[in-house]
Amino acid sequence: EAEAQKLQICNNIQTEMVLESVIKSQGYQNVAVIIGNDNINVFVDKAELSNTEMAKIFDAISEHTDFTIEEVSICPTLVETEG
C-alpha cells in the first residue's frame, strides 16, 4: 500500500512538471500545477484568462491526464498593482 502511494506521488510530480512545461510553452512565464487525488489545480501568471486560453490549457491537461473538465481548476494569479 505504501509503495503504491509512493509510486503515485512520483507519477504525479512527473506529470505536474510535464504540464507546467507544456503550459509555459503557451506563453506563460510562471505556472504551477498541483495534482490531487481527484482534482488538478493550475495557476498561471495572468490577471485574467479568456475562454480560448482556458480551453488551450485544458487541452494540454486532457492530453496528459484523465481528469475531466469538472475536476480541473484553472486560476489566473497575477495581481495588478497601481502606481
Mean per-residue pLDDT for 43-68? 96
pTM: 0.87
pLDDT > 60? residue 37 = yes
pLDDT of residue 78: 76
Q: Do 16 and 35 meet the contact criterion of CB atoms below 8 Å apart? A: yes
* Ramachandran region, residue 38 (left: φ > 0; alpha: ψ -120 to 50; beta: rest): alpha
